[in-house]
Amino acid sequence: MSKALKDILNNDKKFNDLAKSAFDSVDTDRSGQIDAEELEKVMKMMANDMSYDPPSTDEILEVFNNLDTDNSGKIDFLEFKTLIKDVLEVMIESADY
């Protein structure tokens, strides 16, 4: 699994396709941007899928604020790609242990 994830990170097209698919699934209102409520849903779902405790409201807001680099109050696709990259890197690290 680690090899496949590394392949995605190292291939711009594969990474962009994965990130776009993830973005579209999180952007439930199809606005082209992700708000804090949409991010909360995906973070809780991911935590559940990875057998982690659900994130607190403060943790969600911290992630949201870190991703919202232009301070627009929304996360656009380019900002969201940072989250996907971070998640893939954590998954690779976990798989390598």
The domain segmentation of the chain, as residue ranges, is 2-96
- The CATH number of 2-96 is 1.10.238.10
Per-residue pLDDT of the chain (97 residues; tens, 9 = 90+): 688 999 999 999 999 999 999 999 999 999 999 999 999 998 898 888 878 899 999 999 999 999 999 999 999 999 999 989 998 998 888 876 5
Instruction: Kindly report the pTM of this predicted structure.
Output: 0.82
95 neighbors 2 (Cβ within 8 angstroms): yes
